Amino acid sequence: MLFRSLLLGSSLVGCADNSVLYQQMTGAYQAHRFAEARDKAVKLSDQSRGDIQEQAKYIAGISAYRLGLDDAALADLQPLARTSDATIAGPSAATCGIIYYERMQDSSAMRYLKIARTKVIGEDQARVYYHMGLIDQRTGRWTEARREMSRALDVTGDREFRKVIEQRMNARSFTLQFGAYLLVGALGRFEEKHPCMVVPPQCYQTN
């Protein structure tokens, strides 16, 4: 009985430590302190399991992308692109697609963007369609490009982004001046499903 009590006490200490670390991680990301957010996320990922580990890997990967560490971002996010949690899978796949788009690796970019298009919503979905259209233009598939750009127009409510899409649709050749657009709603959806301030201790599984 004493041994079991000691184990339980140790487990609860680990849960508390992880809870604090989770809040530090999300707080740093929200404050755009991406290096700190990534450090906290990597640490949390190493000492947790299940959903919490998945969430930590997501923040680590998105932070890496915002820091320009594309290889690290791909290492964290590619495995998450097919997770059952759409608030993680969608933006993970979309970010991988945008990285590959920027690297001009069009087949890989399109593969991840196709995964993302059914898992993100709103402005993020518009940005996925937009990048799919850019890839189609870059590879000479102008009919397909116009279809994807039209889908982006149907979804977006951003007037400035609409102008960019319309300008791109009317272009007669692909130019590099039309660059990548960051996702804008993904973190909000993630936070809605995974509140950073109140996390039940039973969600944490320490080593």
pLDDT over 80 (residue 202):
no
Taking the C-alpha atoms of residue 174 and residue 193, their distance in angstroms, rounded to an integer, is 39
Quick one: tokens of 186? 């993904």
Mean pLDDT of the 139-152 span: 93
Mean pLDDT of the 70-97 span: 94
Q: Which amino acid does the sequence have at 19?
A: S
Could you tell me which of 18, 181, 66 has the C-alpha nearest to residue 10?
Answer: 18
Could you tell me which of 160, 207, 180, 171 has the C-alpha nearest to residue 47?
Answer: 207
| Higher-scoring residue by pLDDT: 10, 31 | 31
Could you tell me which of 126, 122, 54 has the C-alpha nearest to residue 92?
Answer: 54
Q: Which pLDDT band holds residue 187 (cuts at 50, 70, 90)?
A: very low
pLDDT of residue 3: 33
Report whether 127 contacts 152 (CB < 8 A): yes
Task: Look at the pTM and tell me if it is higher than 0.85.
Answer: no
pLDDT over 50 (residue 206):
no
Q: Which pLDDT band holds residue 177 (cuts at 50, 70, 90)?
A: very low
